[in-house]
Amino acid sequence: MAERVKTEVGKVDILINNAGIVTGKKIFDCPDELMELTMAVNTHALFYTAKAFVPAMIQENHGHIVTIASIAGKAGVSGLVDYCASKHGAVGFHESLTAELDARGSTGVKTTVVCPYYIDTGMFEGVQTKSPTLLPILQPNYVVDCIMEAVLTDKELISMPRFNYFVMFAMG
């Protein structure tokens, strides 16, 4: 698939790692195959896309890598053990990739990790928020606008809604 993208699109300047699945099952109710699939899609795929597209960014010392994680990658949630673990993996992947780029002196390759609350995409269909004022279900267009702003301004971390920053601070 990566070769097809390179052929049809050409050089990739912005890589947005945005693949995700959720089982919504508690750990002891979740079949092993679904846990493995969650890790493969939400975490392992990040390695493959980075290995496919980031070397060219490093060579040109230009580009931007966006990792779509989740606030669940910073704080655990009951009933989402596999999802939270995979998004913690995504955050760790992103932080380590950023450190490797810095160690290489690839200052022109920027990174952004995105840690949103629930987004109204159907992935978490039926989920309700206990505090719609502080933690509203996010609209996809709003999230896209925030991501584009972050890319344009080289923000390293964005989380929405803003209350998530308090959650991340409280979690250490």
* Omega within 30 of 0 (cis) for the link into 116: no
HSE (side-chain half, CA atoms, 13 Å) at 52 = 19
Percent with pLDDT over 90 in the chain: 73
Q: 83, 117, 118, 165: which one is catalytic?
A: 83
Per the annotation, the verdict on 165 as an active-site residue is: no
Evaluate the CA torsion angle 69, 74, 79, 81 in order and state its sign. positive
Domain map (residue ranges) of the chain: 24-51+64-171
pLDDT at 142: 96
Q: Where are the alpha helices (H) located in 44-80, listed in sequence order?
A: 45-60
User: Does CATH place domain 24-51+64-171 in 3.40.50.720?
Assistant: yes
- What Rg do the C-alpha atoms of the chain give, in angstroms? 16
Question: pTM of the predicted model, to two decimals?
Answer: 0.92
Residue-wise pLDDT tens digits, 36-64: 999 999 999 999 999 999 999 999 999 99
What per-residue confidence (pLDDT) applies to 81? 96
